[in-house]
Structure 1
């Protein structure tokens, strides 16, 4: 049985399924100035384009460059970009969509986000494969390459975190340090001291995940119907299979859970990936 808590951690449901099962007519297809679209929202979440009044976010709404997303203590929002990157803005957060440039023909471009406070979960798309994704936090600028990361800087102060959950690299551009192993994080002390490289504990991860889930706790409840979407989506399963086979971190619980799920799932490999790929 796949572990719901690690699915919540790596964002394969809220991020990966949001990409794969989103509307076939996203906002940027209808509005040339839009850089992304709202895929899911829980009140209260708001968006403010440059020079415009703040408005309540709704599913399908287009978002523009330099738009500010703000959530209350109960609000969350999921955003999808054209390169299949997704981000989840957690509770009590404020994020600015600084930049999004993407050429589908070449895969070139860049994505820049500014997290002023709160929680942000990023699931990389095509741009992140080239390391062209930057997340500015209150204390450092981070880049994500081919991966999934959590960022948490609590409103009102407290220890901040940049957690590497999956992929190739999470780099602190301010110090030049990088994390290549999932399950590790940069911890930014509340007293303003230099960041510390740590192995994220279950308790620390649980406290961060509370900012995304409607129920608190590491193993917060997750709707069975949403898990069924994953279990009954062969294309997504095959994509996960390829990603997992490319990884070497055998001691990562998130990957191990997915390995076990794929090994026991009855879904046939309808589009197998050659071992040489």
Structure 2
């Protein structure tokens, strides 16, 4: 089965702000029906839905809670149609400020666990809620959001990077299992983005350093990364699964 973007219903987790909002806008621009998931960003998510028009709605759920995810998917199905595409972008609260992050001598397992619960646990809960629909129609697209810090851990974001590395592993095992159902599962990994709420605490000098080390000479924007997510949901990527596409202007070669 091949579905153009304009025929798809897309669930974007953590879409109330930042990168998630950029991804939601990108799909809406292509004519998709967009479910904007949020946990705390109620006002921002509802404002985004109003901005995007009648084919977009905001849905509350904590993706770490299976029962909330199941209720959300049921509500999306009733109002927009069952999701054909899952973009798992939700992130546990995090600030990209290297000076403020715990080093190994101070790091707790609870910090790693909190990030992993949202990154991997959230992906698992969403896939379990969507699997029957994917199987029934013999089609589905899943895109997870990773980080180039897995390949290039230049700052001590131990908890965040470890969770995203685990998500990459889960992306590939899910691709193996869901492939026979007609479902592709891929990851898009960005670098530091200019600018999201999470990167707002990053000093301007850091952005300048990254730009100077990047072949394209600039820091990637949320809109640029969102376009790569569209590729994996589009018919052009129908034979691609289990892959990790790094979108950072060439800073990291994977």
Global fold match (TM > 0.5): no
Name the structure with the higher helix share.
Answer: 2
Q: What TM-score, normalized by structure 2, do the two folds share?
A: 0.29
User: Which structure carries more relative contact order (alpha carbon 8 Å, separation 6+)?
Assistant: 2
Structure with the larger strand share? 1
TM value normalised by structure 1:
0.27
